[in-house]
Structure 1
Amino acid sequence: MGELQTMLENHGLMLVFLNVLAEQAGLPIPAYPMLFVAGALGVQETGPSIGAVLAAVIAACLIADTAWYFAGRRLGQPMLRTICKVSMSPDTCIRQTQSLYLRVGPRALVFAKLLPGAGALSTAMAGMTATPLPVFLFYDALGALVWAGAALLVGVVFSDFVDVILAGFSEYGHLAVLICVGAFALFLAWRVWWRFHMLRRTRRVPRMTVDELEARRRAGTLPLVLDVRAHGPAPIERIPGAMVVDMHGSLDALGGQLEARDIVVYCACPHEISAAILAERLRAAGYRQTWALAGGFDEWKRLHGGAESPPQAAQAAQAAQAAQAANDAAAG
Structure 2
Amino acid sequence: MGDLQSLLDGHGLMLVFLNVLAEQAGLPIPAYPMLFVAGALSMQPNGPSIGTVLFAVIAACLIADTAWYFAGKRLGQPMLRTICRVSISPDTCIRQTQSLYLRVGPRSLIFAKLLPGAGALSTSMAGMTATPFLTFIFYDALGALVWAGAALVAGMVFSDFVDTILAAFSAFGHIALMVVLGAFALFIAWRFWMRWRLLRRSGLIPRMTVMEFEQRRAAGDKPVVVIDVRAHGAAPIERIPGSIVMEIKGPFDTLSGHDASSDFVVYCACPHEMSAAVLAERLRTAGYPNTWALAGGFDEWKRLQGTSGLPTATPDAPQQIIAH
TM-score by length of 2: 0.90
Note the aligned Cα RMSD (angstroms): 1.7
CA deviation vs aligned residue, 1:43-94 (integer Å, no higher than 9, x gap): 2232211001111111111111101000000000110111111112342144
Please give the alpha-carbon distance, in whole angstroms, between the structure 2 residues aligned to 1:186 and 1:10.
Answer: 31
Please give the alpha-carbon distance, in whole angstroms, between the structure 1 residues aligned to 2:242 and 2:19.
Answer: 48
Please give the alpha-carbon distance, in whole angstroms, between the structure 2 residues aligned to 1:12 and 1:195.
Answer: 35
Please give the alpha-carbon distance, in whole angstroms, between the structure 1 residues aligned to 2:238 and 2:204.
Answer: 29
- 1:325 corresponds to: none
- 2:318 corresponds to: none
Structure 1 unaligned spans of 5+: 307-332
Is the 8 Å Cα contact of residues 17 and 60 (structure 2) preserved in structure 1?
yes
Deviation at 1:206, TM superposition (A): 1.3
Q: Report the secondary structure of 1:237's partner residue.
A: coil
- 1:25 corresponds to: 25
Asked if residue 122 in structure 1 is aligned to residue 122 in structure 2, the reply is yes
Name the aligned partner's letter for residue 84 of structure 1.
Answer: C
Deviation at 1:253, TM superposition (A): 4.1
Please give the alpha-carbon distance, in whole angstroms, between the structure 2 residues aligned to 1:199 and 1:84.
Answer: 12
- 1:36 corresponds to: 36
Q: Report the secondary structure of 2:173's partner residue.
A: helix
Is the 8 Å Cα contact of residues 83 and 121 (structure 1) preserved in structure 2?
yes
Is the 8 Å Cα contact of residues 109 and 143 (structure 1) preserved in structure 2?
yes
CA spacing shift, 1:300–1:193, aligned 2, 3 Å: same
Deviation at 1:178, TM superposition (A): 1.8
Q: Percent identity?
A: 75
Structure 2 unaligned spans of 5+: 308-324
- 2:109 corresponds to: 109
Q: What is the correspondence of 1:35-114 to structure 2 with a 5 Å cutoff?
A: 35-114=35-114
- 2:238 corresponds to: 237
CA spacing shift, 1:197–1:64, aligned 2, 3 Å: closer
Deviation at 1:286, TM superposition (A): 2.3
Please give the alpha-carbon distance, in whole angstroms, between the structure 2 residues aligned to 1:8 and 1:218.
Answer: 68
Please give the alpha-carbon distance, in whole angstroms, between the structure 2 residues aligned to 1:180 and 1:27.
Answer: 17
Please give the alpha-carbon distance, in whole angstroms, between the structure 1 residues aligned to 2:259 and 2:137.
Answer: 46
CA spacing shift, 1:35–1:197, aligned 2, 3 Å: closer
Please give the alpha-carbon distance, in whole angstroms, between the structure 2 residues aligned to 1:189 and 1:51.
Answer: 36
Please give the alpha-carbon distance, in whole angstroms, between the structure 2 residues aligned to 1:275 and 1:42.
Answer: 48
Asked if residue 291 in structure 1 is aligned to residue 292 in structure 2, the reply is yes
- 1:324 corresponds to: none
Q: What is the correspondence of 1:121-160 to structure 2 with a 5 Å cutoff?
A: 121-160=121-160
Deviation at 1:135, TM superposition (A): 0.3
Q: Report the secondary structure of 1:43's partner residue.
A: coil
Count residues in correspondence: 306
CA deviation vs aligned residue, 1:115-150 (integer Å, no higher than 9, x gap): 111011100000000000000000011111111111
Q: Report the secondary structure of 1:111's partner residue.
A: helix
Deviation at 1:254, TM superposition (A): 2.5
Is the 8 Å Cα contact of residues 102 and 234 (structure 2) preserved in structure 1?
yes
CA deviation vs aligned residue, 1:27-50 (integer Å, no higher than 9, x gap): 222111111111111122322110
CA deviation vs aligned residue, 1:143-186 (integer Å, no higher than 9, x gap): 11111111110011011111101101111121222222222232
- 2:247 corresponds to: 246
Shifted more, 195-204 versus 57-66: the winner is 195-204
Deviation at 1:103, TM superposition (A): 0.9
Q: What is the correspondence of 1:1-12 to structure 2 with a 5 Å cutoff?
A: 1-12=1-12
Name the aligned partner's letter for residue 13 of structure 1.
Answer: L
Name the aligned partner's letter for residue 246 of structure 2.
Answer: V
Q: What is the correspondence of 1:306-325 to structure 2 with a 5 Å cutoff?
A: none
Please give the alpha-carbon distance, in whole angstroms, between the structure 1 residues aligned to 2:179 and 2:254.
Answer: 49
Q: Report the secondary structure of 1:248's partner residue.
A: coil
- 1:265 corresponds to: 266
Please give the alpha-carbon distance, in whole angstroms, between the structure 2 residues aligned to 1:152 and 1:252.
Answer: 47
Please give the alpha-carbon distance, in whole angstroms, between the structure 1 residues aligned to 2:136 and 2:197.
Answer: 39
Please give the alpha-carbon distance, in whole angstroms, between the structure 2 residues aligned to 1:305 and 1:26.
Answer: 37
Deviation at 1:305, TM superposition (A): 6.3
Name the aligned partner's letter for residue 35 of structure 2.
Answer: L
Please give the alpha-carbon distance, in whole angstroms, between the structure 2 residues aligned to 1:138 and 1:202.
Answer: 39
Please give the alpha-carbon distance, in whole angstroms, between the structure 2 residues aligned to 1:305 and 1:150.
Answer: 52
Please give the alpha-carbon distance, in whole angstroms, between the structure 2 residues aligned to 1:56 and 1:189.
Answer: 31
Please give the alpha-carbon distance, in whole angstroms, between the structure 1 residues aligned to 2:122 and 2:29.
Answer: 19
